[in-house]
Amino acid sequence: MESRSRLSIICSHLLPGSPSPPSRLSSSITSSASINDAAGDTRNHQLDCVFCRIVRGESPAFKLYEDETCLCILDSSPLSPGHSLIIPKSHFSCLEATPPSVVAAMCSKVPSIGNAIMKANGSDSFNLLVNNGAAAGQVIFHTHIHIIPRKARDCLWTTESLRRRPLNFDQEASQLVNRVREQLSSISPEDGKDSRI
């Protein structure tokens, strides 16, 4: 995969054919882990993974929060001041490979960390973002959640000026709902307990 900024990748998915965003917002973090095999040799991925090196103390990072399951660090190429990443301390290449208990532990930290970041830098809001898979713009194949602080009219996302189209309550939408429900029904009872459609 050619080396492109995360913002360029995200923008290309949100607004295909649009020009690249300004280079001042570009990111140069890339992973040396293999992109082709997300479920490959975990040991090699852990040795090569920048987040695993940070967890082991082998690479520098500004740590904002740490517990037994996860770590929150400042992004080394932030899209805005305070842009942070919540990462699990164990190596999981993507969201599907991450146990629900780990995802829950990471997500449970978002309100307190997000609010602390907003208060610290005077932000109005924040985006919560997961790039899951190469087509979604994931460049480091270790599950992580982005907390991206925002201020009114910061124009970070090109698509914010676009009008959203209302959902058509038609056969295509109905078929999509049925296909998603079918996929959800194949989830083991443990994973999908207390769910109703």
Assess whether pLDDT exceeds 70 at residue 39. no
Quote the tokens at residue 142: 């270790």
Contact 69, 88 (CB under 8 A): yes
The H or E element spanning position 86 is strand 84-88
Contact 72, 65 (CB under 8 A): yes
Query: Helix-strand-coil percent breakdown of the chain, rounded to 5?
Result: 35, 15, 50
Task: Give me the domains of the chain, ranges plus CATH numbers.
Answer: 45-152 (3.30.428.10)
- Residues tagged active-site: 144
Contact 91, 97 (CB under 8 A): no
> How much is the pTM?
0.72
Contact 28, 77 (CB under 8 A): yes
Assess whether pLDDT exceeds 90 at residue 6. no
Give dist(CA 186, CA 21) in Å, integer: 40
Quote the tokens at residue 143: 């599950």
Angle between helices 100-108 and 110-121 (to 10 degrees): 30
Band of pLDDT at residue 130, cut at 50, 70 and 90: very high
Average pLDDT score over residue span 132-151: 96
Identity of the residue numbered 107: C
Average pLDDT score over residue span 28-37: 34
Q: Which residue has the higher pLDDT, 190 or 91?
A: 91
The H or E element spanning position 66 is strand 63-66
pLDDT of residue 110: 97
